[in-house]
Amino acid sequence: MIQSCSAQSKNNSPIHHRGDRFVNLYPFKELGFFDLLKWRWQRSDKNIPQVDSYHFPLAHNDPEFLRRNRTENTVTWIGHSTLLIQVNGVNILTDPHFSERASPLQWIGPKRAVQPGLKMEDLPDLDLILISHNHYDHLDSGSISRLKQLQNEIAPTFAVPLKLKKWFADKGIKNVLELDWWQFEKTVNFEIIAVPMQHWSKRNPFANNDTLWAGWVVKIKEFKFFFLGDTGYTPLFKEIGKRLGPFDLCAIPIGAYEPRWFMKNQHISPEESLLIHKDANCKRSIGIHWGTFVLTDEPLDEPPRIIAELKPEMGIADDEFIVLQHGETMILE
Ligand code: ZN
Ligand code: ZN
C-alpha cells in the first residue's frame, strides 16, 4: 500500500501540485524561449567540440558474472544516468538509455559519444527499474520497449514519478509503481520512496511540467541507495539526508552544467555535486549524467577533472566520490 508524508497546502493538496501541473519546492524564474535562443546563439560562438571528437575507453566487465550474481553488491555505470545496481540479491536499473540518440527521433538530436557499457541483452533479471523524469536522455522509448521484451517473464517493477504511469500503460507495461514526492511503498524485496528534485519535465512542445520529476531512495535490507534525477542545488538535500540518510551509495549527476546562467536552476555543477554528497549524508557516491551525450556547453570530459581537483579542497576522500569509466563495475564492500 502506498503511503505518504508530504507537506500539504491549505486546500489539502500537496504544495507542489498546481492544477494539472507540478512546481518546484524552491521556485525560480523560469527561462523562456528568448533565453533559449540567447543560449543557442552564444553557443554558436564557442566552438563546442563535436561528439565524435571524444574517445572514451569502454571498461572491461563480466556480463556472465553480473547475470548470475545475487550475492556480491556491485554497481556498473552503463553510461549517462544508466546504472546497474546489485544489492543483497536485488537488481536495479536506473534511467535506462541504450539508444544511439537522446531524442524523440533517431536521426537527429544528441548522439552517443560511446556505446553503452553493457548490452541490454547482457543485463541480469531485473527487479526494479527507476525512472527519474520524462526528458529524452532519461526516458528512452526504444530502450523501454526493448526492456519490456527482454525482461517480459520477470516483469520488473518500474518506479515512476506521478503522471508517468500512463506512458508505460500505453506500451502495455502494467507493473508500474507511480509515486508522488515523499510517497513510499514496501515490497517483499525493497522499500522505495520518491523524493523531490529541483527540475522540470517536458516531452513535447505542448506539455510543460505535466508529469512529475523525482529522485529515488531504495532500501534493500540494510543497504540504502539514493538515485538523484536531474536537479538544481537546494536545501532539499540536507532535508533528504536528515530524513532518510545516511546512504550507502548515492548516484549524483556531475555533468550538463554550462552556461551557469542558463543551467544553474536545473542542473548542478561538479562543486554542487560534492556539496550534495555531504548534505545528503552519502557514505559513498558515484558521478553520473556525464560523458555520453553533448547536452550543454562544457567539454564532455571535463566533469571528472573538476571533481578530482575539488575533492581534496572539500575534504572528501578519493574513494568517497568515484567517477567510473563507461562499463566499469565496482564491487561495493
Ligand atoms: Zn532533465
Ligand atoms: Zn538529463
Note the pLDDT tens digit of each residue in 157-190: 999 999 999 999 999 999 999 999 999 999 999 9
Report CA Rg, the chain: 19
Asked if residue 37 has pLDDT above 90, the reply is no
Q: Using one digit for the tens of pLDDT, what is the confidence trace for 306-325?
A: 999 999 999 999 999 999 99
DSSP strand pairing (73-79 vs 329-332): antiparallel
Question: Grid coordinates 555535486 are at which residue?
Answer: 273
Report the pLDDT value the prediction gives residue 252, as an integer from 0 to 100. Answer: 98
Handedness of CA 84, 90, 94, 96 (dihedral sign): positive
CA of 257 to the centre of ligand 1 (A): 12
Report the pLDDT value the prediction gives residue 5, as an integer from 0 to 100. Answer: 61
Domains of the chain: 63-331 (3.60.15.10)
CA of 322 to the centre of ligand 2 (A): 19
Report the pLDDT value the prediction gives residue 107, as an integer from 0 to 100. Answer: 81
Q: Using one digit for the tens of pLDDT, what is the confidence trace for 60-112?
A: 999 999 999 999 999 999 999 999 999 999 999 999 999 999 988 878 889 99
Report the pLDDT value the prediction gives residue 257, as an integer from 0 to 100. Answer: 96
E strand or H helix that includes residue 220: strand 215-220
The number of residues in the chain equals 333
Grid coordinates in use for 320?
568517497
CA of 153 to the centre of ligand 1 (A): 31
CA of 202 to the centre of ligand 1 (A): 8
Most distant pair of Cα atoms in the chain: their distance: 55
**Cα 277 from Cα 250, distance rounded (Å):** 7
CA of 122 to the centre of ligand 1 (A): 27
Q: What is the pTM of this model?
A: 0.96
Report the pLDDT value the prediction gives residue 190, as an integer from 0 to 100. Answer: 97
Angle at CA 234, nearest 5°, toward 262 and 239?
A: 160
More confident site: 31 or 24: 24
Report the pLDDT value the prediction gives residue 1, as an integer from 0 to 100. Answer: 60
CA of 1 to the centre of ligand 2 (A): 30
CA of 201 to the centre of ligand 2 (A): 10
CA of 230 to the centre of ligand 2 (A): 5
Q: Using one digit for the tens of pLDDT, what is the confidence trace for 214-253?
A: 999 999 999 999 999 999 999 999 999 999 999 999 999 9
Q: Using one digit for the tens of pLDDT, what is the confidence trace for 42-57?
A: 888 788 888 999 999 9
CA of 222 to the centre of ligand 2 (A): 29
Report the pLDDT value the prediction gives residue 249, as an integer from 0 to 100. Answer: 98
Report the pLDDT value the prediction gives residue 6, as an integer from 0 to 100. Answer: 61
CA of 138 to the centre of ligand 2 (A): 6
Report the pLDDT value the prediction gives residue 2, as an integer from 0 to 100. Answer: 63
